[in-house]
Amino acid sequence: TPLVRREDYTAPSHWIRSVDLSFDLDPAKTLVINRMQVEPNAARPGEPLRLDGEDIVLTRVLVNGESISFRNEGGQLVLENLPAEPFALEIRNTCAPEKNLELSGLYTSGGSFFTQCEAQGFRRITYFLDRPDVMALFRVTLRADARSYPVLLSNGNLVEQGRLDHGRHYATWVDPHPKPSYLFALVAGDLVCREQRVRSRSGRDHLLQVYVRAGDLDKTEHAMNSLIASVVWDEARFGLSLDLERFMIVAVSDFNMGAMENKGLNIFNTKFVLANPATATDVDYGNIEAVVGHEYFHNWTGNRVTCRDWFQLSLKEGLTVYRDQTFSQDMAGEASARAVKRIEDVRQLRQMQFPEDAGPMAHPVRPEQYQAIDNFYTTTVYEKGAEVVRMMATLVGEAGFRAGMDLYFQRHDGQAVTCDDYAQAIADANPGSPLATRLDSFKRWYAQAGTPRVSARGVYSAEQGSYTLTLSQHTPATPGQPVKAPFVIPVAMGLLDSDGRPLLLQLDGENGYSGTERVLVLDQASLTFVFTGLYGLTSAPVPSLLRGFSAPVILDAQADEAALFTQLRHDTDPFNRWEAAQRLAVQRLLSAVRSGQPLQLDAAWLDAQRVVLRDPTLDAAFKDLVLTPPSAGYLAEQLAADGIPVDPPRIHAAREALRSQMAQALHEDWVWAFEAHQDNGAYRPDPVSAGRRALANLALSHLVLDAARTGDTVWPGKAFQRVKDAGNFTDRQGALIALLHAHHELAEPALARVHAQFKDEALVIDRWFALQAGTPERDGRVFARIKALALHPDYSLRNPNRARSLLATLFVMNPSALHREDAAGYVFWADKVVEVDTFNPQLAARLARGLDRWRTLAEPYRSAAQEALIRVSGRADLSPDTREIVTRALQ
């Protein structure tokens, strides 16, 4: 497969101004008639028209009603000697939706039709200029059997519907907004909907609908509430109103991604729509709110203003993730709940994006090249892209950011643009800002891959009453980018005195204080800042740097233990308070891993944990985050960064020791925490209640774990009872996890009960598989169970959610079970990647990424993983998607 390069971008030879599509829907063979109004691009006269098409059967091509000759070249349909004036082009073709197991293009799921066109699925429906800078007006007519497919949906407004002969019916939809083909969608099936009318601030009425299968209507309330909240929020926060009379969300259970922002007709993985207290967890509720918001916000950031080419993907994704994260924070309400959301987002970024940025798939937020664009829907483009937008917002301030967004829409509404255009608009709206004055160097965030390391060294001078802080940065080489120029890094910070009180900040040369928090801009390899004060600083301050995680960097502050304990107790920035706790835990875990000695926790650390747990001023959700140890993956990355080979079982052993010592030493505190955080009222998914449940469940898991030591049967019994009669799925799952992670004998009957009770709830069964696959390994039993589960009658690779429930959980989330001395985990990885690749390359390529970090492993894991990669890459019939991943991994 040829490499596509950003620098090779050229405008299209033709524009497609409008499309009239008609579908005769049939699972085996669907007929598509595609009538386009085409206009030659005056800048490229006389060029042939090359239309993309994949896995479809062409039956006819007419230009202005006349048939013409054509040829196929490199998967494209090439038309030559075309009129120099605008012309009508008609294409007829067929496709086979029921055979489409790639789930890209038009496919069937559960007896209904759905589409997924981003990034390049439209070409699997009909021939087209399948690129985002070609925007057309769509008119779509669907014809199908009325009994099997009573609901016929497409983008925009329903303008006509009626009956046809032979029990068929039709519907015609017109989308008033020009759009690229990747935003096209159709749905046909036996669906029901929840609907609600809303009036926007501007006084316009809109119809909101959430479509699901008949049995799922009772699980749509939260999605609808989230949608309404999204509409309100985007108007209030960004002045962006819904531009459609009707906005639809449709849930489908077979879906490669999370959800898709098709204009006016969002299609969602059921996982991000369906929730009721009995089947969904607090985390699911939060994810649904975030994803419904995300797709809705795309209506402006992505649809009204779209990407010129796929290298600009972060233009819409980074910005829209930033918007959905901000939305979720605003929905969370209070400052402490906002901080919890921020910590969760950062934890995810570090867990997923940092390893990507340090591994073989490292790429800039705006990549330079790809083989399969589907491989670049990455955490770098999404989550790091969101951090880049956040840094811009930090550099121009909230009001400045809003002004920048306004200017962006003023300039580019209706266009297909680039990341440069976006940054330019934010900067131009804020002349003189630290962003505008450094725009070129700031944009290195788009161009350079890799996570910068920032080191901070502070020197206190009692004589001068000053504190000199030197910040330096260095970014390691990444594939294809050996040398990096300095990034522009906003470092939000404050100083604490030794009692933890915030100090007023004043830099040498300034007259007067500037509050207790400010943003330093590190835009050189190294910069020095001298803090003074009216009367000087009277003792060495504790620096609190990178507050709120103001930049996606690895901070090395060489903080001593005393400073970290001070921060954990007193920092006014909740993020850094949590961060101090993480560092204290990481230091203990890694020193055990490095030395090979068993972990022995010290009283000071355990006391600090207890103080947090018992602190009446802290939220339960925050306590849960502080008391949850860093993940094995995060610890592995810390070692890898220092060039120390990663021995996964050793990391696992250290974490297990930490868990059991915390269980023992804090036993009475866990009892208190469990009992003090029981709610009796009706289930509510708000962050405060969710935090209380999370902390109670964390307590329960420690209490059940400790039962193995004490021989206690009461707490395991309580957990089992909760699995039986919990009033919501969050608590039921929490109890099941407690039993599973303690490897308690009651885990088996608990699993059996959950399976029996929820056998018809696909999303719960996904969870049932995932919980088992995510259990920390003990004596190889977890891996053996995973292999057995792969043969379970409910297991299937065809459904992406079900496939991922075992495989992604094992490959990405459970290093303790994957990495084995006998290499069986890697053999299993190879077998499954190869098997899935035969029918769903996108999914296979995602799963293949599970071995990305093989080079960081210690022997014998490293060689065995490499062997598995070589085995997969040796397959001649591999898809381009999976080939790109394994080839890069081995390079």
Which pair of structure tokens corresponds to residue 120?
């390049």
- Residue 309 or 317 with smaller CB distance to ligand DPP: 317
Which residue in 118, 289, 295, 317 is the catalytic one? 295
Point out which residues bind Zn ion (CB under 5 A). 317, 320
Give min distance, CB of 182 to ligand DPP, in A.
8
- Residue 290 or 764 with smaller CB distance to Zn ion: 290
Peptide bond into 880 cis (omega under 30): no
Residue 87 DSSP SS3: strand
Give min distance, CB of 259 to Zn ion, in A.
8
From CA 808, how far away is CA 803, in angstroms rounded? 8
- Residue 131 or 298 with smaller CB distance to ligand DPP: 298
Give min distance, CB of 382 to ligand DPP, in A.
7
Give min distance, CB of 257 to ligand DPP, in A.
5
- Residue 317 or 356 with smaller CB distance to Zn ion: 317
Residue 714 DSSP SS3: helix
Give min distance, CB of 328 to ligand DPP, in A.
15
Give min distance, CB of 291 to ligand DPP, in A.
8
Q: Is 295 a catalytic residue?
A: yes
Nearest to 652 by CA among 744, 774, 741, 777: 777
- Residue 229 or 373 with smaller CB distance to ligand DPP: 373
Give min distance, CB of 365 to ligand DPP, in A.
15
- Residue 317 or 881 with smaller CB distance to Zn ion: 317
From CA 545, how far away is CA 524, in angstroms rounded? 17
87 - beta bridge partners?
38
Choose from ligand DPP, Zn ion, none: what does 118 bind? Cβ within 5-8 Å by kind.
Answer: ligand DPP
Give min distance, CB of 321 to ligand DPP, in A.
8
Q: How far is CA 267 from CA 182, 284, 514, 698, 798, in A?
A: 13, 17, 48, 35, 19
- Residue 261 or 637 with smaller CB distance to Zn ion: 261
Nearest to 18 by CA among 105, 139, 103: 139
CA dihedral 780, 785, 788, 789 (to 10 degrees): -150
Strand bridging mode 87-95 / 57-63: antiparallel
Give min distance, CB of 690 to Zn ion, in A.
24
Residue 285 DSSP SS3: helix
> Which DSSP state fits 531?
E
From CA 16, how far away is CA 136, in angstroms rounded? 6
From CA 139, how far away is CA 160, in angstroms rounded? 11
Nearest to 342 by CA among 329, 351, 323, 324: 329
Transcribe 481-502 into DSSP letters.
B---PPP-EEEEEEEE-TTSPB
From CA 179, how far away is CA 786, in angstroms rounded? 44
Choose from ligand DPP, Zn ion, none: what does 259 bind? Cβ within 5-8 Å by kind.
Answer: ligand DPP
- Residue 295 or 383 with smaller CB distance to ligand DPP: 295
Residue number closest to ligand DPP, CB atom: 118
Point out which residues bind ligand DPP (CB under 6 A). 118, 257, 259-261, 294-295, 298, 317
Give min distance, CB of 361 to ligand DPP, in A.
18
Give min distance, CB of 258 to ligand DPP, in A.
6
Query: At residue 233, what are phi and psi to the nearest 5 degrees?
Result: -65, -45
Residue with tokens 């289930």: 683
Q: How far is CA 433 from CA 318, 524, 883, in A?
A: 22, 17, 45
- Residue 267 or 471 with smaller CB distance to Zn ion: 267
**210 close to 146: Cβ distance less than 8 angstroms:** no
Choose from ligand DPP, Zn ion, none: what does 257 bind? Cβ within 5-8 Å by kind.
Answer: ligand DPP
**285 close to 685: Cβ distance less than 8 angstroms:** yes
Choose from Zn ion, ligand DPP, none: what does 260 bind? Cβ within 5-8 Å by kind.
Answer: ligand DPP
- Residue 77 or 260 with smaller CB distance to ligand DPP: 260
How many Cβ atoms are within 10 Å of 124's Cβ, its own excluded?
Answer: 23
Residue 712 DSSP SS3: coil
- Residue 52 or 118 with smaller CB distance to ligand DPP: 118
From CA 833, how far away is CA 142, in angstroms rounded? 36
468 - beta bridge partners?
459, 530
- Residue 118 or 852 with smaller CB distance to ligand DPP: 118
From CA 423, how far away is CA 416, in angstroms rounded? 15
- Could you tell me which residues come within 8 angstroms of residue 33 by beta carbon, excluding any fewer than 6 positions away? 21, 22, 90, 91, 92
Give min distance, CB of 199 to ligand DPP, in A.
27
CB environment 831-843: b (16+ within 10 A), e (fewer):
ebbbebbebbbbb
Give min distance, CB of 259 to ligand DPP, in A.
6
- Residue 119 or 426 with smaller CB distance to ligand DPP: 119
Nearest to 691 by CA among 336, 275, 346, 350: 336
Q: How far is CA 403 from CA 323, 393, 410, 419, 422, in A?
A: 15, 11, 10, 17, 12
Query: At residue 72, what are phi and psi to the nearest 5 degrees?
Result: -105, 135
Transcribe 731-771 into DSSP letters.
HHHHHHHHHHHTT-TTHHHHHHHHHHHTTT-HHHHHHHHHH
CB environment 755-793: b (16+ within 10 A), e (fewer):
eeebeebbbbbbbbbbbbbbbbbeeeebbebbeebbeee
How many Cβ atoms are within 10 Å of 745's Cβ, its own excluded?
Answer: 11
Q: Which residues are catalytic?
A: 295
